[in-house]
Amino acid sequence: MKSDNQNNDTLILTIAKATQTIVLLFVLAILVVVIGIIEANTHAIYKAFNQPEMNTTDSLAQKQEAKPDYWVAPDVATIPNSPEGELIKYGRELIAHTAKYLGPEGSVMQISNGMNCQNCHLEAGTKPYGNNYGSVASTYPKFRARSGTMENIYKRVNDCFERSLNGKPLDTNSKEMQAIKIYIEWLGKGVPKGKEAKGSGIVDLPFLDRAADPVRGKIVYEQKCASCHKKDGSGELKPDGKEWLYPPLWGEKSYNHGAGLYRLSRFAGYVKYNMPLGVSYPESQLTDEEAWDVAAYINSMPRPSKDLSKDWPDISKKPLDHPFGPFADGFDEKQHKFGPFKPIKEKRETRTKQRK
């Protein structure tokens, strides 16, 4: 009996010692963690108070490097508070809300189809690769093969009224024309004369190795365009019924077949970095093939016509994708409209080399 009691006492003593050891180890572990945290914080505080001061020049250089490498429109807040500034603001207003002033029910005159200039020249002509006006002032006046003449900004603006807006030209002496002109010049004030800034106009997409396909384009349209522009391409008016929320892409209220966007290369480059709604350069949702195909579908649909008999007096200067003959290269209208365009380009380049 005594032996059993001694064994029990020994067991209890062993358990007590083991428990003390475990508690001691646990306390030591906590101390190690706490010391580690204190050291880490001390090191962080030391670093925070001992960082070398950032050089102002380096900081400025970093900010400059972060700027986009393409044209960005000047801030509208910098428009001067002067009579000239008021005219610039009116020009911007006319571009953004053309229909309000110059549409079928325009308050100034009725000379256009109801679309706004910014339905094609996005964000009042300021969006990078959104068919903007960035390099218009720097490159005009210039010779344009379409008319075969030297053209000024007035001519360029009226081309849009007669083609994209399927309407009538503005009087070049009118307040409205002067306002649009000075607004375009203000937008391009930072671009050197004779230069074309990256990001201005529309991006040039590589040609496909095949013809653009309206059948494939219809699928793209129904998946990514119809929710805004409607299945029948008729678009959607704003609640007031006076301006388009989403413009018509074909039909009697859309651009006519003399408009720049009727050329597939222009339309494909336009939608690549601007559509569906919310897309902006350099990001895109459409592949190059989808952009070409949806352009082929939209531009194969009915729209207003225009007398183009005076366009391209030198037919050898017609663009590869101008779809109306006659042509000087031997290719037919179908290939000039849908492609493939590479064979046309190669043949023209060969002829140019032979002439030299």
Closest by alpha carbon to 183, among 88, 60, 63, 80? 88
- For residues 225 and 327, state if they share a domain: no
Residues 6+ apart with CB under 8 A from 323: 262, 263, 333, 336, 337
Spatial separation of the C-alpha atoms in residues 213 and 300, rounded to whole Å: 10
Domain stop point among 140, 172, 187: 187
User: What average pLDDT does the structure give for the chain?
Assistant: 88
Over the Cα atoms of the chain, what is R_g? 33
Nearest to 225 by CA among 258, 263, 270, 283: 270
Domain annotation covers residue 1: no
Judged against a pLDDT cut of 80, whether residue 80 lies above it is answered with yes
Sign, Cα dihedral of 133, 137, 138, 144? positive
Least-confidence region, from 43-52, 56-65, 280-289, 347-356: 43-52
CATH number of domain containing 169:
1.10.760.10
80 shares its domain with 183: yes
Is 44 among the domain residues? no
Please give the helix or strand (H or E) that residue 99 lies within, else none: helix 98-102
Q: Using the CB atoms, write b or e for 45-60: b if 16+ within 10 Å.
A: eeeeeeeeeeeeeeee
Residues 280 and 326 in one domain: no
Cα distance from N-terminal residue to C-terminal residue, the chain: 124
- How much is the pLDDT for 46? 37
pLDDT single digits (tens) 142-158? 999 999 999 999 999 99
Structure tokens at 237: 């008016």
Please enumerate in sequence order all residues whose Cβ is within 8 A of that of 283, keeping only pairs 6 or more positions apart, or say none: 273
* pLDDT score, position 12: 56
In the chain, what is the greatest distance between 2 CA atoms, to the nearest angstrom?
Answer: 128
What is this structure's pTM? 0.81
Clarify whether residues 328 and 263 are in a common domain.
no
355 pLDDT tier (thresholds 50, 70, 90): confident
Cβ(304)–Cβ(259) below 8 Å: no
Give pLDDT, residue 39: 52
**Alpha carbons 173 and 180: distance in angstroms, whole number:** 11
pLDDT of residue 324: 98
Give the pLDDT confidence of 309-318 residue by residue, as tens digits.
999 999 999 9
Same-domain check for residues 261 and 340: no
Q: 159 in a domain, yes or no?
A: yes
Omega into 282 within 30° of 0, i.e. cis? yes
Based on the domain organization, do 103 and 174 belong to the same domain? Answer: yes
Residue 118 in any domain: the answer is yes
pLDDT at residue 42 tops 50? no
Asked if 118 and 124 touch (Cβ cutoff 8 Å), the reply is yes
pLDDT confidence bin for 68, thresholds 50/70/90: confident
Which pLDDT value is given to residue 22? 63
Confidence bin at 7 (pLDDT 50/70/90): low
Instruction: Say if residue 292 is in the same domain as residue 326.
Output: no
Name the β-bridge partners of 244: 237
Question: Residue 280: pLDDT band by 50, 70, 90 thresholds?
Answer: very high
DSSP single-letter state for residue 192: P
Q: Give pLDDT tens digits for 261-278.
A: 999 999 999 999 999 999
Report how far residue 104's alpha carbon sits from residue 296's, in angstroms, rounded to the nearest whole number.
29
Residue 50 confidence class, pLDDT cut points 50, 70, 90:
very low
Q: Residue 98 and residue 118: Cα distance in Å, rounded?
A: 8
pLDDT in tens, 226-244: 999 999 999 999 999 999 9
Looking at the structure, do residues 273 and 349 belong to the same domain, yes or no? no
Write out pLDDT tens, residues 13-41: 555 565 566 655 555 556 555 455 545 44
pLDDT band at 162 (very low <50, low <70, confident <90, very high): very high
In a domain, 303, yes or no: no
Q: Which of 252, 269, 298 is the last residue of a domain?
A: 298
Domain contains 131:
yes
Domain membership of residue 201 (yes or no) is: no
Mean pLDDT of 283-301: 98
Give the CA distances from residue 75 to residues 30, 124, 178, in Å, rounded to whole numbers and listed in that order.
59, 12, 21
Please check whether residues 176 and 276 belong to one and the same domain: no
Q: Higher-confidence residue: 192 or 57?
A: 192
CA 349/CA 326 separation, integer angstroms: 19
Q: Which residue has the higher pLDDT, 47 or 8?
A: 8
Q: Are 340 and 285 found together in one domain?
A: no
Residue ending a domain, among 187, 202, 232, is 187
Residue 44 binned pLDDT confidence (cut-offs 50, 70, 90)? very low
What is the mean pLDDT of the segment spanning 283-310?
98
Same domain, 319 and 282: no
Range of the domain at 279: 214-298
- What integer is the mean pLDDT of 173-202? 97
Residue 208 is assigned to a structural domain of this protein:
no
179 plus 278 within the same structural domain: no
Mean pLDDT along residues 163-189: 98
- Residue 63 pLDDT: 44
Model confidence at 298: pLDDT above 90? yes
Total count of domains within the chain? 3
Tokens of 265: 């290369």
